[in-house]
Chains A and B, each alone.
Chain A
Amino acid sequence: MKSKSTKSLVLEMSFLLIPLILYGIFKNGYLVYEKGLISFYVVFKVFYLILIALSIKFIFDLIFKHKIIIDYDLLYVILIAMIMPYNINLIVYTITFLITYIITTLLEKKFTFNKVCLIYLIIILINSLFTKFTFLNILDERFSYNFSFFDLLMGRVVGGIASTSIFFTLLAYLYLIYNFYYKKDIPLFINLAYLSLAFIYYLITKNNELLLNSEVIFASVFICPLPKYSPYKPGRAILYGLFIGILTFLLTFIDKYIAIYLATFSISLLLNIKLKTKKNV
């Protein structure tokens, strides 16, 4: 077994996101452009979001750390850009991202919370004040499709701008299982709890829309097990996963797409409060 550095872990995870980003460009860029609904430049919106996020991170690094560092923050900003809704306003996104990134990074020294989820939730909240709160792209809004299960699995479901491909997410998870540093129990137990409840809900109501939620799968694989915000002891990791899964299911009745982020943020905050109380005792 070969040991890895933080830098290589971050780069490895970032490379795993490339297929999802490319699929995001295809689904929310090319397909919409093909119908003549957007200009060519908008095809690469996810790139702009990532570029803005990376620029903010690098400028922050240069100001506060005097050099550009490849650390987990790099992965965080890419992930935040990927889970944004399609209709995100770039100006609102840039300003809100800049402010929340600086505040959360400085706050992080005192408190532990899932930074990715918090920044995301704040941006979504601010964005909803300026534009319509929806995760549908123009194509989804105008047309109604009858997708096959394979299409849905590939990523034709509604969700973040580059987080909808369940197929590529599962492929990444299969790869990550063999990564010694990855907390593989967490995604497993989140999905186990969530899918069990969603299935029971389906049996009772015959409503299957909660069963295939790409945001839950994406966040459970990439965001919930982020090392800094999740427990590493096997028992605690399982509990953490189960709690997130259950809370996500409950929160889907508020909003299906932000439920997992709200649940992850809440549980990571609770975990921090619990640990802080334990230390004080």
Chain B
Amino acid sequence: MHSLIKIADNKNVFIVNDIYEFIDPKNIYIPILKSSSFNKNTYIYKNTYFNDFIASASGFISGSKKFFLYNQLIPCLKITNDFKENVHKNTRIKKVNNIDELKQVLLKYKLNNIYDKLSNNPDNIIVTCVDEEAYSAREFMCLSKNYDEILQTMDYLSKIIKINNLYLAIKSTNAKSIKNVKSIIGTYPNIKTVLLPDKYLISYKDNICEFLNVKANSIVLTTNEVYDIYQSVIKGKEIVEKLITISGDGIAKSYVIRVKLGTALKEVVDKFIEFNTDNYEVYVNGYLQGEKAQSIDELLITKDTDTFIINEKSTLKEEECINCGACFKICPFDINVKKCYFENRQSLKCIRCGLCNYICPAHLNLKKVVGGQNEK
């Protein structure tokens, strides 16, 4: 395993140790990726799918607005929430007997990211409660609040996939999660609890398998993903809500909030966030792994966005490279980051972890060039 590092804590970031809820937005927005026409005042039922996006509330279409998604401005349908939660038809729970049926159910609920992780004939299931991003706490909060459901789902998965090697990996610094899990873990003797060091990228599949000394043919899921499986496969509910973290040193307190998919970030921010400064910048999906956004007004909460970092605007400017080689030294995949950057070349090995940007003393945006638009 490449030597992992601990990201320095920002003493100005204080995360409130609870999950807040914002499940009654005035409007929800649905991205329209393919050109199609919708009549204003059309009634939209909750749980209606528009390609991969779901209507998380019911109401009438009242217009459209553009949001910044997938590195471009995308038009979205605006649905004014009538707060009735009307659904067209209730889904029935289908009994799942094997991994193939499980995969089908996951596809039905558009949980493609989990579907992709389910390999055939795995040796282990590893569930990680690790927030890789330094100022995120959604995985930790998810386990703290739903530890019973998560352990139950892990047990359920082991029966369907027919494996007994179940690991629940918790960061050694998460005392609350450890305490909660310890109180109930005796009910599930097949689940092994392991403590992970507080190092960046420890929950990355290769790293965690090596740390646990298990074969790479393992399924590595996050606690939020397991909770999604619980909601969809066990409870038969559509995934219309998710946990997000709004954090950073530009705000007084950082929150983990349960929100509806398709909620405009601005609405959540207006309700919860108290700014420390007017001069701030926003990062979507984390400070290290995410991208800087133009403004809060353009940001939408989708299943692909989970951590919003609001930091005081940095005064640091890009300087001349000093050839220190720190980017190469820190890269977990030994990419010659400096070379790629100056040759304006993307590296296919890059997982956009952001360590090169973090370590660069010249503040160069190396990740943007070397990582390109690679998906993690």
Contacts and interface: CB of A to CB of B under 8 A. Distances in A.
Interface of A: 1-6, 8-9, 71-72, 180-181, 183, 227-233
B326 interface: yes
12 contacts: A3-B8, A3-B360, A3-B361, A5-B363, A6-B322, A6-B362, A72-B322, A180-B326, A180-B329, A227-B325, A232-B325, A233-B325
B328 A232 contact: yes
A38 to B, nearest CB: 39
Contacts of B328: 232-233
Interface of B: 5-8, 316, 319-320, 322-326, 328-330, 336, 338, 358-363
What is the predominant secondary structure among interface residues of chain B facing chain A?
loop
A4 B324 CA distance: 12
A124 to B, nearest CB: 26
A1 B7 contact: yes
What is the predominant secondary structure among interface residues of chain A facing chain B?
loop
Nearest to A9: B361
Contacts of A228: 322-323
A5 B361 contact: yes
A181 B8 contact: no
Given A5-B361, A9-B361, A232 B324 contact: yes
Contacts of B336: 233
A180 B328 CA distance: 12
A183 B323 CA distance: 11
Nearest to A225: B324
Given A3-B359, A71-B320, A227-B325, 15 more contacts: A1-B5, A3-B358, A3-B361, A5-B363, A6-B362, A8-B361, A9-B322, A9-B361, A181-B361, A227-B322, A229-B323, A232-B328, A233-B325, A233-B328, A233-B336
A233 B316 CA distance: 27
Contacts of B6: 1
Nearest to B316: A5
- Count chain B CB atoms within 10 A of each CB in A6, A230, A231, A233 and give the residue with the most: A6
Nearest to B362: A6
A6 B338 CA distance: 16
A251 to B, nearest CB: 25
Nearest to A180: B326
A127 B360 CA distance: 40
Q: Which 4 A-B pairs have the closest CB atoms?
A: A232-B325, A2-B8, A227-B324, A1-B5
Contacts of B362: 6
Contact of A181 (B316, B320, B324): B324
Nearest to A234: B329
B277 to A, nearest CB: 21
Nearest to B7: A1
A4 B325 contact: no
Contacts of B360: 3
Contacts of A180: 326, 329-330, 359
A1 B328 CA distance: 16
Contacts of A5: 316, 361, 363
A8 B326 CA distance: 15
A227 B322 CA distance: 6
A68 to B, nearest CB: 15
A9 B361 CA distance: 8
A157 B137 CA distance: 58
A6 B359 CA distance: 11
Given A6-B362, A9-B361, A232-B329, A1 B324 contact: no
Contacts of B325: 183, 227, 231-233
Contact of A232 (B316, B323, B363): B323
